[in-house]
Structures are given as structure tokens and as C-alpha cells.
Amino acid sequence: MPRNLPSPMIVGITSNAIQPCILVDLTLVSGTYHVWSGVGSLTVGATVYLGLGSLGSIGDVSEGIDVRADGTSITLSGIDPAIMADCLSDIQLGAPATVWFALFSDGAIVGTPYPLYVGTVDKPTIPISTESISITLNLENRMLNLQRPTMRRYDAGDQNYYYPGDSGFNWVQILNDTALQWG
């Protein structure tokens, strides 16, 4: 599917003086964290992104013509074993996560970052080796919710649970036993 990239981004992609970078907005229990693929701090609008350098990586972001819920992953490596428990308790399943593609030149972002992936945080995996500890957060697409069954009953009791005093579903059960003649 063709994308409508902003014109400064198209010019930047075709030039040799600009580097691509990834920005990530990740919501955890303690707050929203903003990180980017470079080194040092980077200010985009009013948001300050903390540089991870080679300590962070992002999985493949795929897209196709089929309607399916493709996911990706974010990995943070080099974690101190002393704070491992705190890191795991800060992960919030189902929290929003956004991955942005941007162009970086002379210490600033060129144009407007492009949303590369929008999803929610799924279960973490923790590959532990003798050299390092890393946490991989799987991100799932919101379309995955279409495959989950709904627990709503769509009757008067269910409607009054969510909207007390609403009588919109009072006649639903009567319609099940009513034979309607058409034509």
C-alpha cells in the first residue's frame, strides 16, 4: 500500500547527508518512556527522547495486502541484574506503544516523524546468558482484538450494567420469540 510521506522526508531519504533513526514511545506502569536509536538526548517538539545507542533494537515490521495482525518486538539489552525485578514489575501488558521512523541530521529531526508501528505491549521474554541480560517486549497489533471473543450478551441486563437506566435493550428477548411476517 503506498504511503504519503511528507515532502521533507522524501527529500531527506534521497539525500546522502541524512541518517534514519527510530523513535519509540512506550507506556509502562511508572510512566511513558521516550527512547530513540541514537546516542544522547533528542528533543522532538516538546518530547525529549533518551538515546539507547546499541543497547536497543527493534524487530521486523511487516505489512501486506492480507488483513492480519502482524506484530513486532523491542529489545533492551545490557540490563543490570540488580534492577531486573524492578524492570519486570514495571511492564504493563496492553499498554500503548508507538514506533516512529524519522530522519536525523545535524542533531535534529528533519520533517515530521512517521508512525511505523502502533500497537500494545504483549508478554515479555527474557533471554539470559552469561554475558548479558536483555528484555524483549513483544508488541501486538490492535487488529488482534478482532480475533478475541466478546463477553457481552447484548440484552437488557448487560446494557444496564454498563449504562444504568437505559431501556434500549428491554425488548431484545421478546424479539427472539416473535414471528414476523414480511410482505
Q: Delimit the domains of the chain by residue range.
A: 7-148, 149-183
pLDDT digits over 119-129, tens only? 888 888 887 77
Q: 33-71: b or e for each residue (b if 16 or more CB lie within 10 Å)?
A: ebbbbbeeebebeeeebeebeebbebbeeeeeeeeeebb
Yes or no: say if 136 and 125 are a contact pair by the CB < 8 Å rule. Answer: yes
Task: List the grid coordinates of 66.
Answer: 492480507
Task: List the grid coordinates of 181.
Answer: 411476517
pTM for this one?
0.69
pLDDT digits over 78-129, tens only? 777 777 777 778 888 888 999 998 888 777 788 888 888 888 888 888 877 7
Q: What percent of the chain has pLDDT over 90?
A: 5
The mean of the pLDDT values for the chain is 81
Question: What's residue 12's pLDDT?
Answer: 67
Question: What's residue 2's pLDDT?
Answer: 53
Question: What's residue 138's pLDDT?
Answer: 85
